[in-house]
Amino acid sequence: MTAEEIARVETLVNEQILLNTETVSEVLPIKEAQTKGATMLFGEKYGEIVRVCTIGNSIEFCGGTHVRRTGDIGSFKIIGECGISAGVRRIEGITGMNAVRAAQENAGVLAEAALRFNAKATELPAKIDDMMANMKALEKQLEQLKSKMASSMGDSLVAKAVDVKGIKLLVARLDGADAKALRETMDKVKDKLGTAVAVLASVNAEGRVQLAAGVTRDLTNRVKAGELVNVVAGKLGGKGGGKPDMAMAGAQNADGLDAALADVNDWVAANSHDEPQHY
C-alpha cells in the first residue's frame, strides 16, 4: 500500500469512529444469521448457534469482544501492512490512546528532523532531495579524486618493481583502497611499467582483503593473473578469478596477508614459464 492509500483507509475508519454508531451483538441460529446477510469468514467453521455483530451496514459472524458504540474506539492508526495472498493484504492497526501516542511519537520525530534541517516539516522532502543531490555530487568528486590518487600512486609504486627471471614484478599493499581503486591503480602501474606482473592488496576497515593481480599482455604466456591471484587469496581463505591479464579476489583473513605477499616473488620465479626463444 502506498502512503496515500494508508492515509485514505485511516480516514475512512476514523470517519466511522466519529459517527459513534451503536454496535449490536446477537446470538442467533446460523441459518437465521445467514438470512440477515451476515458475512462468514472464508475457511472458518461455525456451529449451529453463532454470534452476529452489526455496526452500521456491516453484519458479520464474530465471537470477539466489541465496544458499545464506534466512538468508544477513540481513534485508529495503521502501524503495518503486508500481503498474505494474491490480492489480499493484512492491515495492523492500533486504537485509542495507543494511536494517540503513536501519532505523538511520529510528530516528535518529524519535529526533530525539521530542527536538524533548520526547516519546516513541510519543507523536509525538498531539503532531503537537495541533500541527496549534494551527496551524489560529492560521490562523483570522490571517484574523480580516487582516480587521480590511483594515477599518483602508480608513479610512486613503479620504483618498487623488482626483476624476477627477466620479469618486472611489483607487489604492494594499498590499505583502504576499494576494488575499483585497485583496478585503476593496476591499470596505471601496467601502463607505466610497460611490461610487468603486479599484485596489489588492500585491507578495509572491517578487515576484509581485496586483491588484484595484473599481467601485461606480452607476459600472459608466462604468468596468468587468475592463477596468481588465487595463489595469494588461497593462503587467506579466499578465492577469485578473472582474465589472464587481470584478476580480482577477496578474503576475510588479513592476518597472513604480508606473508602471502612475500611469497609472490618465489612463486613467480618457480611457476613462470620460460620466455620463448627465437632463432
pLDDT digits (tens, 9 = 90+) for 52-104: 888 888 888 887 767 889 999 999 999 999 988 888 889 999 999 999 999 99
Same domain, 73 and 167: no
Structural domain of 171: 143-271
Same domain, 13 and 90: yes
Distance, in Å, from the CA atom of 230 to the CA atom of 199, rounded to the nearest integer, reads: 11
Please give the pLDDT value at position 41.
72
The pLDDT tens digits for 173-232 are 988 788 888 898 899 889 889 999 999 999 887 889 999 999 999 999 999 999 999 999
Q: Does residue 28 lie in a domain region? A: yes
Q: Confirm whether pTM is higher than 0.85.
A: no
Same domain, 61 and 179: no
Q: Does residue 199 lie in a domain region? A: yes
Same domain, 210 and 247: yes
Of 201, 192, 186, 184, nearest in space to 144 by CA: 184
Same domain, 110 and 148: no
Same domain, 178 and 101: no
**What is the number of structural domains in the chain?**
2
Same domain, 242 and 184: yes
Q: Does residue 92 lie in a domain region? A: yes
Q: Does residue 132 lie in a domain region? A: no
Residues of the chain with pLDDT > 70, as a percent, come to 94
Q: Does residue 127 lie in a domain region? A: no
Single residue among 64, 98, 116 that ends a domain in this structure: 116
Same domain, 156 and 221: yes
Average pLDDT (249-269) is 92
Single residue among 116, 132, 167 that ends a domain in this structure: 116
Q: Does residue 123 lie in a domain region? A: no
Cell numbers at residue 9, please? 483507509
Query: From residue 237, how far is each of 234, 240, 244, 254, 255 by CA, in Å?
Result: 5, 11, 22, 9, 11
DSSP calls for 167-210 = EEEEEEE-TT--HHHHHHHHHHHHHHHSS-EEEEEEE-TT--EE
pLDDT at residue 170 is higher than 70? yes
More confident residue, 270 or 155: 270
Single residue among 81, 116, 151 that ends a domain in this structure: 116
Confidence of residue 4 (pLDDT cuts 50, 70, 90): very high
Q: Does residue 234 lie in a domain region? A: yes
Same domain, 267 and 154: yes
Please give the pLDDT value at position 43.
66
Q: Does residue 95 lie in a domain region? A: yes
pLDDT at residue 157 is higher than 60? yes
Same domain, 159 and 85: no
Same domain, 257 and 185: yes
Distance, in Å, from the CA atom of 203 to the CA atom of 113, rounded to the nearest integer, reads: 36
φ/ψ of 273, rounded to 5, equals -75, 150
Please give the pLDDT value at position 151.
62
Lowest mean pLDDT among 33-42, 110-119, 260-269: 33-42
Lowest mean pLDDT among 9-23, 50-64, 141-155, 197-211: 141-155
Residues 6+ apart with CB under 8 A from 54: 23, 24, 25, 26
Residues 6+ apart with CB under 8 A from 249: 210, 211, 213, 229, 230, 232, 233, 238, 239, 240, 241
| CATH assignment at residue 259 | 3.10.310.40
More confident residue, 150 or 93: 93
Residues of the chain with pLDDT > 90, as a percent, come to 56
